[in-house]
Chain A
Amino acid sequence: MWKMRSFVQSNILFRQSLRLLSSSSTSAAGASIRPQVVPDGSPSSTANEPSTSAAEPSQSRFQKPKQIYKGSIDNAETAKFAAIADTWWDHYGPYKPLHAMNPTRLSFVRSALCRHFRKDEDTPKPLEGLKVVDVGCGGGLVCEPLARMGAQVLGVDAVEKNIKVASAHAIKDPITSSIQYRCTTAEQLVVEKQEFDVVLALEVIEHVADPIEFCKSLAALVKNDGMVIISTLNRSIASYGLAIIGAEYILGWLPRGTHDWNKFMTPEELALLMNRASLSMDEMAGIVFNPFTQRWYLSDDTSVDYIASSVKRR
């Protein structure tokens, strides 16, 4: 029954975004598709975490946005991640799958950025001169490699513990000690009028309360002709089977409840959201795991996990 309802809801979400796209007017009503009711003050961030209970009752989607809007952060999601923050850099701990996948998504990021900013890929530090922000940086798994590639990196995360872990780890190496970490949110950076060449939100958007608002914040952070790269899980039968039943229940890669399938987004929906936020989808690739070789690779199969780059329109 609930499954049925979530399909209906997703459909509504999709139609809403379609309507937003087709009606060229940027009405205030469309600003928040899924307004999140934040019970109290502290805006916490976007990181990826599982909640034990149904933290965000699905009915909330139909509720009218109730006054106080506190950004796209989902508190329950945030709490999930704080619990296992210590283990970010244990390559064989809870984040093992993320570590294993990391080189694959970084190779996409690297080639997308090199191509867009016309950098020579055949050098150890091709991203030199680029100012990058990683929104929902977690323990800094993406920040550190980007710093090694020469980028000037700011990592932000709403979970303070993540920021502490990330800073403590980065300081150990002269190359990564230049990374700045801040416990804040994308919205806060927008308020501060910060601008970047590149904005990354990898495996984050499926954890935020309000994807469209989140996308808009990302767009506001990037300079004209800058690049926004988002990776997320597709809302497909395959992703339900692999990312939730497989990864959480059978393989035990992720704590149960890490992901809420209903919050996943199809590539089409993501493209529409981005378009709504003045971002033009540039390139997209699926991130696929081969259980026999134990390897992750880029593929054109976006049915489970995918990564997309988009360029901000002038």
Chain B
Amino acid sequence: MRNVSVRIFLPIIRWQKCRVLSQAADGMSHVSSAQRSANTAKQSGYKTENAGDSNYDVVIVGGGMVGAAVGCGLASSPLTKSLRVAIIDGNPATVLKYKEKQNSVPDARVSAITPATIRFLKDVGAWEKIQGCRHAPFDSMQVWDYSGRGFTRYRAADVGEPVLGYVVENNLLVSALNYALERTGFAETMCPAKVKAVQLPAGSTASSTGTLFETLGERARNYAGTSTSFQNHKIPDSASLDKFDRNDSWAQVLLEDGRLLRARLVVGADGGRSRVREMAGLETRGWDYNQHALICTVQVGYHHLTAWQRFLPTGPLALLPVGDDLSNIVWSTTPEKAKELKEMSKEQFVTAVNKALTEDYGPLPSSRRNVAAVSKYITPLIGELPPSVSDPFIAPPPVTACLSERLSFPLSLRHATRYVTHRLALVGDAAHTVHPLAGQGVNLGFGDAAALAKTLREGITTGEDVGELALLEKYEKERLWRNLPMMAVLDGFQRVFGIDSLPFNLARAAGFNAAQYLGPLKRKIISFAIGGQV
């Protein structure tokens, strides 16, 4: 009798367990549509009471590309869209609408956005605006160095993507994100408004108690010699700090105009020289490259769909398509050379660019003829070769005119030792700045924005406070895994090409040839660069 009852019980429990798991896994909610609409109607949201006051769930400092992207990321999910969010930006130009004039020259400040970023922009509803404006696709990429011993050519078809990315003007990206934000009526944009000071509460301090398995992320952080006490940071600033309530358990943001905002979470999206980061006392590690990047828009001999990049001993020179016969130049070089290039006449500059693209320091590489024969033997070993393996080297189009003013800025590598502290998260350049050689900077920033929005969404699912350090650490961990390897690769590139000696030249040539002819390696490199899974 007893045994019977037990035997009946066990299978029931097992079956129930499976049910829980399968349903928990796909997160399905079994609600009839009538009930769903009823719930939505009376849903008051995850919102601070008294919407008129200065309490916010999230205050985003910096309304540039990444800051606006965080806002869009939060607006695009039903779980996070009822958060009360403010975006603060000091530059009135941020909210200006992007107006494309007929025959206007594209702005020199452009970003090469990857398919991963495009997916994000589509998800948040910003892509359609970009599609209606000027944006230029590139479906192949050719990289070579001055020694002429090797080259690598990638095609989007190698990894089954239609394009490797698009080149979009930065102000169009900001404008498209703001457009998406406005359409949802989601965030309050305070612009122009400047942050004077930030006070964070004395929250939990992150001192990991002896866990058996320290994660790699934590280890990397400790390796970099991080400091882990972030309590009560103030800024060495005036008496207006008396406005702060020292015992507040929320973050407080004091604006220049005297307004005081309280927030569960402050997001620092205010760029490479982030004041928020500084005020929060988060340290950075890194170094200057002793290089300046010079950017401008040029006209080239013919319309092309390739991103070209030639590595010179002084730094890489890139030519990106921006539509029609126009291209964007990103020339990283010594500060002296950058100054010289900026000051010379437009005609002299065009001559200098053409020389640097083709003949300075060495010849153009020649194509390998015997690839087809070799690939016959290696294909069975390493699988089908990507189509670009047999591509010849193609010389870049000649630059015919310089159309915009030439801008330059110093380059450096910076990485915040922590991206988060209690009630603060850094995104984009505020957390990390990289060399522009692969156009990865802003894509890492969009990745941060998407990851932060996802983390907050998960936190709300389980009822967590969106500013809680334990939650934000999940965002940090996820992004460290992506950002640190990318930074290491870019920095490595930068260093390897800076050395002009025969052994290094040969090693680089071997690297280029490996990257060009080894199919699996080639696919991996492209996937990594365009933000897919490695």
Q: Please encode chain A, from 137 to 159, with 1 for each CB lying within 8 Å of some chain B CB and 0 for all others.
A: 00000001111110000000000
A93 to B204 Cα, complex, angstroms: 9
Q: Which residues of B198-220 are within 8 A (CB) of A?
A: 204-213, 215
A283 near B2: Cβ-Cβ < 8 Å: no
B213 near A291: Cβ-Cβ < 8 Å: yes
A21 near B5: Cβ-Cβ < 8 Å: yes
With CB as the reference atom, state the residue of chain B lying closest to A126: B39
Given contact pairs A107-B462, A144-B463, A294-B213, A120 touches B29 in the complex (Cβ within 8 A):
yes
With CB as the reference atom, state the residue of chain A lying closest to B78: A122
- Choose among B17, B19, B43, B205 the residue with the greatest number of A CB atoms under 10 Å from its CB: B17
Q: Please encode chain B, from 49 to 88, with 1 for each CB lying within 8 Å of some chain A CB and 0 for all others.
A: 1100001000000000000000000000011101000000
Among A3-11, A78-86, A95-103, the one that faces the other chain is A95-103
A108 near B212: Cβ-Cβ < 8 Å: no
A90 near B40: Cβ-Cβ < 8 Å: no
Q: Does A174 contact B (CB under 8 A)?
A: yes
Q: Does B246 contact A (CB under 8 A)?
A: no
Q: Does A64 contact B (CB under 8 A)?
A: no
Instruction: Report A126 CB to chain B, min CB distance, Å.
Output: 8
Q: Please encode chain B, from 6 to 24, with 1 for each CB lying within 8 Å of some chain A CB and 0 for all others.
A: 1001101110111111011
A118 near B35: Cβ-Cβ < 8 Å: yes
Q: Does B190 contact A (CB under 8 A)?
A: no
User: Residue A283 contacts which of B17, B31, B39, B80 (CB distance < 8 angstroms)?
Assistant: B17
A298 near B20: Cβ-Cβ < 8 Å: yes
Residues of A within 8 A of B43 (CB): 123-125, 128
Given contact pairs A268-B6, A271-B13, A285-B21, A100 touches B470 in the complex (Cβ within 8 A):
yes
A91 to B464 Cα, complex, angstroms: 13
Residues of B within 8 A of A59 (CB): none
User: Residue B461 contacts which of A107, A112, A285 (CB distance < 8 angstroms)?
Assistant: A107
Q: Does B44 contact A (CB under 8 A)?
A: yes
Q: Please encode chain A, from 228 to 261, with 1 for each CB lying within 8 Å of some chain B CB and 0 for all others.
A: 0000000000000000000000111000000000
Q: Which residues of A29-57 are within 8 A (CB) of B?
A: none
Chain B interface mostly: loop
With CB as the reference atom, state the residue of chain B lying closest to A89: B204
A284 to B16 Cα, complex, angstroms: 6
A120 near B31: Cβ-Cβ < 8 Å: yes
A282 near B16: Cβ-Cβ < 8 Å: yes
With CB as the reference atom, state the residue of chain A lying closest to B264: A173
B21 near A92: Cβ-Cβ < 8 Å: no
Q: Does B46 contact A (CB under 8 A)?
A: yes
Residues of B within 8 A of A174 (CB): 48-50, 55
A59 to B175 Cα, complex, angstroms: 75
B24 near A299: Cβ-Cβ < 8 Å: no
Given contact pairs A115-B30, A123-B43, A124-B460, A300 touches B5 in the complex (Cβ within 8 A):
no
Residues of A within 8 A of B369 (CB): none
A268 near B9: Cβ-Cβ < 8 Å: yes
Residues of B within 8 A of A173 (CB): 249, 465
Instruction: Report B476 CB to chain A, min CB distance, Å.
Output: 13
- Choose among A114, A149, A282, A283 the residue with the greatest number of B CB atoms under 10 Å from its CB: A283
A19 near B2: Cβ-Cβ < 8 Å: yes
B55 near A268: Cβ-Cβ < 8 Å: no
B463 near A149: Cβ-Cβ < 8 Å: yes
Instruction: Report B232 CB to chain A, min CB distance, Å.
Output: 16
Residues of B within 8 A of A271 (CB): 9, 13
Q: Does B468 contact A (CB under 8 A)?
A: yes
A111 to B21 Cα, complex, angstroms: 10
B470 near A91: Cβ-Cβ < 8 Å: yes
A120 to B41 Cα, complex, angstroms: 12
User: Residue A120 contacts which of B36, B80, B460, B463 (CB distance < 8 angstroms)?
Assistant: B36
A123 near B40: Cβ-Cβ < 8 Å: yes
Residues of B within 8 A of A293 (CB): 215
A294 to B9 Cα, complex, angstroms: 33
Q: Does A314 contact B (CB under 8 A)?
A: no
Residues of A within 8 A of B23 (CB): 111, 115
Instruction: Report A17 CB to chain B, min CB distance, Å.
Output: 10
A145 near B20: Cβ-Cβ < 8 Å: no
CB pairs A–B below 8 angstroms (6 shown): A104-B462, A118-B31, A120-B39, A146-B463, A147-B463, A172-B249
B interface, CB within 8 angstroms of A: 1-2, 5-6, 9-10, 12-14, 16-21, 23-24, 27, 29-32, 35-36, 39-40, 42-46, 48-50, 55, 78-80, 82, 204-213, 215, 249, 458-465, 468-470
Q: Beyond the given A91-B469, A268-B10, could you list 15 further A-B residue pairs with CB under 8 A, ordered by the A residue number? A: A18-B5, A92-B206, A93-B209, A100-B470, A103-B462, A107-B461, A114-B29, A124-B80, A125-B45, A148-B46, A148-B465, A268-B9, A271-B9, A281-B16, A285-B20
A interface, CB within 8 angstroms of B: 15, 18-19, 21-22, 89-93, 96, 99-100, 102-104, 106-108, 110-112, 114-115, 118-126, 128, 144-149, 172-175, 250-252, 267-268, 271-272, 281-286, 291-294, 298-300, 302
